Structure 1
Amino acid sequence: MLFAAGFGTRMGPMTADRPKPLIEVAGRPLIDHALAIADDFGPLRRVANAHYRADQLAAHLDGRHVAISREAPDILDTGGGLRAALPLLGTGPVFTMNTDALVRGPNPLRLLADAWDPDRMDALLLCVPLGRAVGRKGGGDFTIDGGGKISRSGDHVFTGFQILKTDGLADIPERAFSLNLLWNGMAAKARLFGLPYPGHWCDVGHPAGIALAQDMLRADV
C-alpha cells in the first residue's frame, strides 16, 4: 500500500498543479522512488490511494501494475484509506509505504519481511534512530525496548514503512481515521513492535526536504 492521497499542503505552491507524489527528487517523482523499493523486493500486489489530483497520479501509474484506490468525496487518512483499499490488497498482512520520504540503505521491505513474526506481532514498524533521521526537527515517535516492543515517544522516528495485519480495521467505527487507532489496540495487547533501520531516512513532506534528500542520496550526510 502506497499512501499517496494527501494534499501536500506543507509543500506550498509546489503542489498547486500536481499531487505531492509527483514532485521530483534526484530526477524522478517521489512515488517512483517508492516503487523502486517495491520492485527491488520482488513481486507484490501494489495499490496506491489517491484523492488530491487523483487523475494525474493515475495517469502517471498507468501500465505500471499499480491498482488505484480512489478516495471520494472525502480523503480517508491512513487508516480509512488502508481499509478502503483492502478489496484490492487482499486479506493477508500488508506492507505500507509513505511516498513523501526517502531512504538510503538496505531495502526496508526486505528487513521487515525477515523480522516479521506473525505469531507474536500484529504490526512491525520500521523506525530510524533520530541521529539518522535527516532534517527531523523535534523528538522521536517511539522507544523500542530490548524485545522489540515499542511505546510512544522516544529516540526513534517512524519511517512510514511497516508490515501489519488488517483485521482490526473492521472494528473502528470512523470512516476517516489514522492508523494510530489500530496501533493503539495492538499496543494494548503487547503486539506492536518496532525494528530499527540501519540506514538514513529523510522526510520530503516540505520544500527544504528536497535538497536534504538529494544530499542524503549522494551520501553527503
Structure 2
Amino acid sequence: MNVLILAAGLGTRLRPLTSDVPKPLVPVVDASILEQQAVKANGIGNVRLHANAHYLAEQVVAEGKRLGFEKVWVEPEILGTAGPLKRIYNEGYRGGLLIMNGDAYCSFDLKAFVENAKRTFASAQDGSAPGVALLAVDFPKVNTFRVNKDGRLVGIAGRFGSEEGAAATFSGVSYYSDEALARIADGEFDIREFWKQEIAAGRPPFVDMSQMNATWIDMGSPEGLMAACRARLDELGVDSWTDERVAVTRDSIVFAGATVGEGETVENEIRGKGFSWKI
C-alpha cells in the first residue's frame, strides 16, 4: 500500500515561523508532523511512503530521504488534493493509497481504518461498492459532513448534496482503492468534486465514524501548534522538552534564535527569531 502525506502548503498562518521552514517540518516537541505521520504510517506495515512538496520543497525532499520515503513529489504549482493522487496513480503505483495531512497531530488507529475501509468496499453490492473511505472526527465548529445511516457521505453542508444526516468533520485521512484513483479525471484539483461525482454515480464514499473522539489537532495556527505540543508532551509522558531546535513546556514554546532575557521566564507564549505570539 502507498501512503501520501500532503506537505505542499504555504504555512501562512504560522509566518514568520514558517518563513525559513515548511510547516510539516516545524518541530512539535521532539519531531515534526511529517516524521510523526511517517512513524504512524509505517506502523501499518508494508507501506511505501510518499509526500508532495511545493513551498521550500528542497527541505521536504531532504527530510523525506532521511525518513526513507519512496518519493517526494515536487509540485511547481499547488495541485489541490486530487492532483497529487492522480499523479501517483498515473506513475504506476498500485495497491491502494492512504492520504494523511502534514499539519494534523492525531492519534488515529490507521491500520484499523484501512482494514475497515477494505471490508466495507468488499461487502457492498455490485455497482454500489465505494472506492473511497473518509475518516471522520467530531469537531462541532467544522461538522460539515452529512452521513446517512449506512455510513455513506450524502453531502457537505453549504456545498452540495443533502443537508440531512449525521454531522461530522473530515479528518484529512482517507483511503482510495486503485479503481477509485483511476476514476479521478486528469486535471482535477478539488477532491470534493470527485466525491460529488462518486455520489452521483451511486458509489458514495464510506465515512468511518468509529474514531470520532480520537485526538485530532490542526497545528497550522499558533493556538493549534501549542495544543499539539501539549498533546505530544502527554504522549511522551513528560512536562517539558528541550533540544537544539526548541524548548517546550505546557504553556510555552521557544524556538532556536529567540531572544530571551537573562532570568526571564517565558509563559503563555510562542517565541522565535523576531516574533512573539501570546497564547
TM-score (ref. length: structure 1): 0.85
TM-aligned CA deviation for residue 123 of structure 1: 0.6
Report the counterpart of residue 135 of structure 1 in structure 2. none
* Sequence identity (%): 26
One-letter amino acid of the structure 1 residue matched with residue 152 of structure 2: K
Report the counterpart of residue 112 of structure 2 in structure 1. 110
Whether 1:180 aligns to 2:192 is: yes
Deviation per CA, 1:117-163, whole angstroms, max 9, x where unpaired?
334212110000126xxxxxx33131222211123136311111110
Q: What is the CA–CA distance in structure 1 between the aligned matches of 2:56 and 2:143, rounded to whole Å?
A: 31
Report the counterpart of residue 209 of structure 1 in structure 2. 224
Q: What is the CA–CA distance in structure 2 between the aligned matches of 1:40 and 1:118, rounded to whole Å?
A: 22
Q: 1:34 to 1:89 in 2, by over 3 A?
A: farther
Deviation per CA, 1:163-191, whole angstroms, max 9, x where unpaired?
0131122x3544xx121121111122242
Deviation per CA, 1:87-127, whole angstroms, max 9, x where unpaired?
556134211001100113x4234323233233421211000
Q: What is the CA–CA distance in structure 1 between the aligned matches of 2:35 and 2:90, rounded to whole Å?
A: 24
Root-mean-square deviation (Å): 2.1
Report the counterpart of residue 35 of structure 1 in structure 2. 38
Report the counterpart of residue 152 of structure 1 in structure 2. 156
Q: 1:13 to 1:63 in 2, by over 3 A?
A: closer
Q: 1:62 to 1:190 in 2, by over 3 A?
A: closer
Whether 1:123 aligns to 2:123 is: no
> Please, which of 181, 190, 214 is the counterpart of residue 199 of structure 1?
214
Whether 1:98 aligns to 2:107 is: no
One-letter amino acid of the structure 1 residue matched with residue 132 of structure 2: A
Q: 1:99 to 1:89 in 2, by over 3 A?
A: farther
* 1:66-105 equivalence runs, <5 A: 66=69, 67-72=71-76, 74-87=77-90, 90-104=93-107
Tell which deviates more after alignment, 46-55 or 191-200. 191-200
Q: Does the CA-based 8 Å contact 1:127-1:195 persist in structure 2?
A: yes
Secondary structure at the aligned position of 2:136 is classed as strand
Q: Does the CA-based 8 Å contact 2:61-2:72 persist in structure 1?
A: yes
One-letter amino acid of the structure 2 residue matched with residue 96 of structure 1: I
TM-score (ref. length: structure 2): 0.69
One-letter amino acid of the structure 1 residue matched with residue 204 of structure 2: R
Bigger RCO of structures 1 and 2 (CA < 8 A, at least 6 apart): 1
One-letter amino acid of the structure 1 residue matched with residue 85 of structure 2: L
Higher helix share: 1
Q: What is the CA–CA distance in structure 2 between the aligned matches of 1:88 and 1:109, rounded to whole Å?
A: 25
